[in-house]
Every structure is written in structure tokens, then in C-alpha cells.
Amino acid sequence: MTTTHPHPDTAATPTLVLIGHGMVGQRFLEELADRGVTGRARVVVLCEEPRPAYDRVQLTSYFAGRTPDELSLVDPDFLARHGIELHLGDPATAIDRTTRTVTARSGLTVRYDALVLATGSYPFVPPVPGSDSTGCFVYRTIEDLLAIEEYAEHARTGVVVGGGLLGLEAAGALKGLGLRTHIVEFAPRLMALQVDEGGGRALRRTVEEMGLEVHTGVGGTEIVADGAGAVTAMGLSDDSRIETDLVVFSAGVRPRDQLARECGLPVGQRGGIVVDAQCRTDDPAVYAIGECALAADGRVYGLVAPGYDMARVVAAAVADQLDDAAGGGPDGDRQQPGFTGADLSTKLKLLGVDVASFGDAHGATDGCLDVVYSDARSGVYKKLVIGADGELLGGVLVGDADSYGMLRPLTGSVPPVAPEQLVLPAGAGAPAALGPEALPGDAVICSCHNVTKDAIQSCETLPEVKRCTKAGTGCGSCVKMIGKLLPDSGEQGLCACFPHTRAELYEIVRVRRIASYAELLDAHGREEARGGEGCEVCKPAIGSVIASLAPAVGADGYVLHGEQAALQDTNDHFLANLQKNGSYSIVPRIPGGEITPEKLIVIGEVARDFGLYTKITGGQRIDLFGARVDQLPLIWERLVAAGFESGHAYGKALRTVKSCVGETWCRYGVQDSVRMAIELELRYRGLRAPHKLKSAVSGCARECAEAQSKDFGVIATANGWNLYVGGNGGASPRHADLLAQDLSDAELIRLIDRFLMFYIRTADRLERTAAWLERIEGGLDHVREVVVHDSLGLCDELEALMAAHVTHYRDEWAETLADPERLSRFVSFVNAPGAPDPSVRFVPERDQVKPDLTLLAGPTLPVRTLEGTSV
């Protein structure tokens, strides 16, 4: 396909030909446009791929629901506005430097005054016999991803060859597609170029905890195919064998320098087009930029930031050269800044794991020392490399890379605090970490676009920063630091005990791995509140935060464990709902409202034997009212033995996922709503949140499950599922808003994961999703950008937090029954454990019971007390 916007009078106009239209090629065109070159020259672009430049750094976000069009880096009117001729799917096939012409596959021949090669790189496929079998793929382009996605529909197991950056991304993609996934890495550790041995151990441990199988120190020896030529297994160099349906090669890249070789331009011994500091080849009319170029320092740079620097250098040089070709030569020699090397620092989130390296990460400098913090249990590893004079030379961060934004700009200087203060978590003996005020004004915050702290602080908001400086629009690793540098939002604290909002305290607990309320209060509470007991506002709020982050911060997820018990509201304290006469109601979970006759009989027998009032709720389950506190464990024991678990009706957590009968029974149904409702309820059960969560799944547009009145609701379509968010009934009903439509099962679950964790992360205490969606800046559009398009680069982290919740879920009723010490709290009177509460009495009504309300009118109603709690 050709997009032609011809420059007027092309015969008399200097011509620039750009071969390749990737990220670096598009940045080069933008640099030309900024210099006014596109208005004075004909610009022709030959592109091999069938689509314009797109964000290859965010390639994997395609599997999170981001469309190819949304990944595009080219504004719709950019080409037309600047008169650029773009030839898609028509790569250059030959360069004739004598006639200064380029020939494309279509036969198009273009004469050039300046030629820029931005051909990038190609995936390296190890010479493994059978690597051309059906089911073998590379992981490089959108077309590659489309092919993998289609093939994976009929696969169960996949192998990724390569444990580097793209290899781990590819593994995450296969896992997200529902495949059992193996990673095969020839090096002794994952990401061997970025992290050291300790970092590799931490990374591997975390990756394996996510369910991926890692094989390091081995290579592939053969791909085994069946009679039709399709992959069935992969043999490894340790004589083991992996049965697999699909293999993805992501074992590194090689510079695409074939065109240069064929036209006689010098290339490096290991590949790459040789260029000087101006990125010029030995032909003064030909330049090379990005991954195809072997820079003057002898490196081929595979990161986008160095490619952008090269684009800037060549745009300035080409502007001068084209001016000369037009007859407007300079009065004297121009001195343009050259490309002499680049910062190789990287910060990524791979499979939800933070990984960063910067500076001399491997300690190659003579006389340097390492400062190391390692927590094997949580998968956190931090190493700083310090010079003999105290200078910060570099470092490696795995599992917690939040300090990257501070540490990388400090590289090359002596930090104002001791090195151990930069790696130790809160509560481990270190004072508070440095704030952004410690950075000098000329510290580079965004390395992709070379933007300094001073430039960022000249703006007021993140959108303004992105628009004016482009900071935050590259790899995204600087966005969190940018937020810290912008003006304070003016938020007030959670309560008199804390100067921070609930969302800020969530971040503090997550990053610092704080597992107790007392530790948080002492380290981050207001001065006057430290050492105290807190208040009734912050204690349950922090208890919920710690519970929602329990696996990530090393806390016990059981809400009545140790100090956690004293933080809970009355209902959570007894894992049941307190009713008006002092009795409790019990609500077993019935996922999706589906229940067997046997389980119905058990509920009936329990209600009969304990004299409980029973009622079917609007959320498709059964409430059992009227239990005394000492009866709760006895009732749970019967229910748990029958396969029931807590329905969390007492907690700020997921309540129910309601459903209609769907396509299984209903003649209007188009999807299996019951199956989906059960899957969602079992996935999110026990998820602690700022407020209660309700959901529903409707099997067609008739909406019998009332999904649009729920915090997150799902409605079936002929093409999949529509996801609605932010609805609720109650005193201020709100219809939910459409977040995304026609989703597959995997896409739906992935977006709900992200939405719920983003809500939990940013909402205020006791704020329902409806109120949160109306309060949060940018509203639904902002939430969609974050959870669908990953605009803040948080989605891997949100998914990892949800995965940890799912993995570590434990039923609170069963946990209580298994521990005699925990059972001891379920008594009416601590000084008479076996005595029932005489105030809990009932009278008959409609063949059941109801509270005897006459007792509530008297002046002498007893007040039951339990240590640490008043009821």
C-alpha cells in the first residue's frame, strides 16, 4: 500500500529516502519536520511492514486488548501535513550508490540526495533442526503476534527459546493466552545481560511462582514434528524433552545490514553498518540509525533511546546536506553534535516483575564495592555498585524498582546519604529514602527523550509534560518520578493519624513491604500519632490495605492473625454480620447462584438444627440469620464439610457474581453466563477492597442478571463479552459505563483484574466504584487509558497483584476451624466461654423466627465485650 503526499516540483527538489519505518524511522521524520526539512525536500519512505510505525516497546500490550491502531506512533494527518510519501509493504531491495538510486520490491526506483537506513534488526533463530516446523514463530512484529494468537487457540503448551527481555514478554503472552509455558535460556540465568547472579535468582524464583517453568543453562537440540510437520516436542541439551505444541524463538536480534553489504558499505565483523559520530557511513550521502548501525564506539544499540539520539543527530546533518544540495550552502563549516554513545539503563516490568539495571550494573570498574539487599522470600533483590570515592556507579533492582527513578539520575555522583539507605526497606534500620528534591535540576529524568528535572518542573500536569517535552511517552519507566516532581495535589490525609491519603498509604505499604499497622503508623504517621493505637477511621482502612496486599508484602492474609484482628470492624472480627439483636447471619458462597440439591439440603438441615431464619438474597444465595457467636464455628464446620466457604458478606470484599441461566437453558442466550459468573466469583473471592464489590453476568442483551447496576458487570454478545464498570444500586443508583466490548474470556478477565486492582490502589476508604469513577481525574476515559491501553505502564503490576491474590486465597472459615486459638475468640463472654448470651432471643413469624425486639426497648441491654473489641 502506498500513501503518497508528493512534494511540489519534485524534479527540482532535493530528495531524501528513508528505508524502514519503525520507531526510530518515525522519530527521524518528526525531527525532520521540526527542522522544517519536509517543507523543503521530497521525503520518500520505503516500509517492509504493512502498517506505519508502531510502538514496538509496548508490543505485548496487544495481548492486553490494545489494538494495532492504538499502538501506532503516526498521527493520522502527520504524513499529509508534511508531504511525506510512505510506501507500505514495499521494502527496498537494492541500492545503487553510483547512480544514487534505491529500488523497491514493486519496481519503484527513487533517486536520492541523502539516504537514511533505519532497517532495524531481525530475530535470531538458533540453528536447531526442525526450527522451520509448523508452530514455530518469532516474536518481533504485530504480524508475528497475530499468527501466534491464532495458532495458540489450538495449543495447550508453549516453549519460549530465550530468557531475555523479549523472551520474558513472549512467555507472558503465551501464559496470558492460557498455555502452559516453558522458558529455555542457554545462559545460566534469566536476563543475563541486565542482571547479575543474585538478581537472576530473585527473578527466576518470582517467575516460577507465577506458574512458568524455567530451564537455564540449556539449549535446544531439535524440534520434533509430527507427520504433518507440526511441532510436538523440543529436545534440550541436557537430554530432557519438553512436549509442546508451539515454539517461540526470542533469542536476541541481529542488525539488518544486508542492503548495506550488497551495495559495498562497510559492516562490522559481527554485523551492523559502520557509521561515524554523525551516523554517516563511508559514503557521505548515506546514513544509518537505530539497531542496524554499528556506532563509532563499536556498539550496536538495541534500545529505543539511543536510536532516538541517532535520529536527532542525522536529522540535523541531513538538514544541512539537503540545504547544500538546494544551493544554500553554509558560509563556514557546521559543527553538529554527534552520537558518541548512550545510557543503557533499562527499567521494565516483565510478567509483572520490576526489573531495572543502570550504569555499571555488573561492577566492572576497578576497586568498586557492592551494597546488596536481598529478600529471597519476596523476590526482592537490590544491588548498588559504589566506587572507591563513594560515587554511585550503577545497580540492579529486581522485584522492587521504585527507586530506579531516583538512582539512575544520581549515577556518576556521590549520593547525599549512605548507600545502604538507598536499598534498605522501611523498618529495616534505614531512615526515609531520598525524595525528588535531592536531584539536581539537570538530572535526566526521561532518558528516552533526554528530558531534565528542570524541564519537567516547568509544567503543571502529566499530560502537559508529555505534550511539551515528550517525557513519559517512550518506555514509560519515568512516569512515576515525573508524578513526584509535579505540584502537590493538595490532598488531605486519611485521618488525624496519617498525613497521607488511602491511595498513598497503599503505595507505601506495597513499596516498603509493611506488614503491620504499628509499623506503618510509627514510620509514616503524624508525629503526634506515632506510638499510639490509631483511630477507628484508619485502623480498618489499613487492615483492608494490608489484607489486599498480603502476599506481596509478606503479611498473613488471614484477617484475624495477630495485630490484624484488632484492626477489623465488628463484622470482620467475627467473620459474620452482626444483626440488630446481637445475633449473627451466615452467608455461604454460592458462585453464580448455582447449587446442587445436596448442598441445598445441607443448608436446610443446618438452618433447621440451629433454628436459623433463612432468606434467599437478591445476589442469588441464602442468608442464615439468628446464630449466636458461640454457634458460628459449629455452623461453619457443617457447611465447610459440605463444600461451602465464606461468602464474605461481612467484609469490604467481593460479595456475589449474579447470573442468568445463559445459553445453556435460555433460548435467547448467546454465551454461557453461569460458567463465566462462577469463574469470576471464584477468582475474586476474598478480595479486600475500599468498599464491597458486586458483579453480575448476563447471557444476552435482555440483561436478566442486571449487570449494569454492578461494580463490574458483564453482558454477553455474539462476539464475546461487554464489560461495564462503576454501577451500583443503593441510595444513589448509578448505571455502569461500558469499558470495553466484544472481549474474549481471557481479555475480559485480564481487564477486570486490572480494573479492580487499579480501584483498590487509588480509591478512598469506603468509596464504591461508582463514586470513585466520578471522582477520579479524567473519569472513565482515564480509567480506560490506564487499564485497557496501559498508559501509565501499570498493567503488568496490577495483573501480578491479582495473580498473587488468586494464588494465595484461603477460606477464612476453614482457616479459623483449623486453629484452636482462633476458635477461642468465638464466645459470648470471655469469663464464661460456654454460656450463651441470654439477650439473643427470638419469636416465631411465618413458620420461622425473628428477633424479639421487645428486649431492645429495655434500659438494661447487656454489652458484650471481647479483648481488643467493643460490640
Alpha helices in 513-596 (DSSP H): 517-524, 538-548, 550-553, 564-567, 570-574
Distance in angstroms (rounded) separating the CA atoms of residues 733 and 744: 29
DSSP symbols for 178-224: T-EEEEEESSSSTTTTTS-HHHHHHHHHHHHHTT-EEEES--EEEEE
Q: What is the dihedral of CA 218, 222, 227, 228, to 10 degrees?
A: 80
Tell which residue, 637, 618, 616, 617, has the closest CA to residue 627.
637
Distance in angstroms (rounded) separating the CA atoms of residues 857 and 252: 77
* Spatial CB neighbours of 270, under 8 Å, sequence gap ≥ 6: none
346-357 burial string, b = 16+ CB within 10 Å, else e?
bbbbbbbbbbbb
Contact indicator for 226, 135 with CB cutoff of 8 Å: no
Q: What is the dihedral of CA 157, 163, 167, 171, to 10 degrees?
A: 30
660 is in an annotated binding site: yes
700 is in an annotated binding site: yes
Contact indicator for 432, 406 with CB cutoff of 8 Å: no
Q: How many other C-beta atoms can be found within 10 angstroms of the C-beta atom of residue 458?
A: 12
Residue 394, all three cell numbers: 550503577
Q: How many other C-beta atoms can be found within 10 angstroms of the C-beta atom of residue 667?
A: 6
Contact indicator for 728, 709 with CB cutoff of 8 Å: yes
What DSSP element (H or E) covers 806?
helix 795-808
Ramachandran angles phi, psi of 137, nearest 5°:
-135, 165
601 to each of 441, 594, 627, 849, how far by Cα in Å? 71, 14, 19, 19
Q: How many other C-beta atoms can be found within 10 angstroms of the C-beta atom of residue 330?
A: 9
308 to each of 630, 760, 817, 847, how far by Cα in Å? 69, 37, 61, 78
Ramachandran angles phi, psi of 327, nearest 5°:
90, 10
Residue whose C-alpha cell reads 519507566 in the numeric block: 477
Distance in angstroms (rounded) separating the CA atoms of residues 335 and 106: 39
What Rg, from alpha-carbon coordinates, does the chain have? 31
478 is in an annotated binding site: no
Tell which residue, 663, 653, 724, has the closest CA to residue 683.
653
Distance in angstroms (rounded) separating the CA atoms of residues 505 and 511: 10
Distance in angstroms (rounded) separating the CA atoms of residues 271 and 258: 9
CB-based burial label for 633 (10 Å; 0-12, 13-18, 19+): middle
HSE value, Cβ hemisphere, 13 Å, CA-based, for 234: 28
Tell which residue, 177, 142, 152, has the closest CA to residue 66.
142
β-sheet with 353-359: strand ranges across:
346-350, 353-359, 392-398, 380-386, 369-375
**Widest Cα–Cα separation across the chain:** 106
Task: Tell me 754's DSSP state.
Answer: H
Distance in angstroms (rounded) separating the CA atoms of residues 673 and 50: 38
Ramachandran angles phi, psi of 248, nearest 5°:
-115, 125
Pairing relationship of beta strands 286-288 and 114-117 according to DSSP bridges: parallel
Pairing relationship of beta strands 231-236 and 842-845 according to DSSP bridges: unpaired
Distance in angstroms (rounded) separating the CA atoms of residues 710 and 190: 42
Feature table: binding site for siroheme: 704
Feature table: binding site for [4Fe-4S] cluster: 660, 666, 700, 704
Feature table: binding site: 660, 666, 700, 704
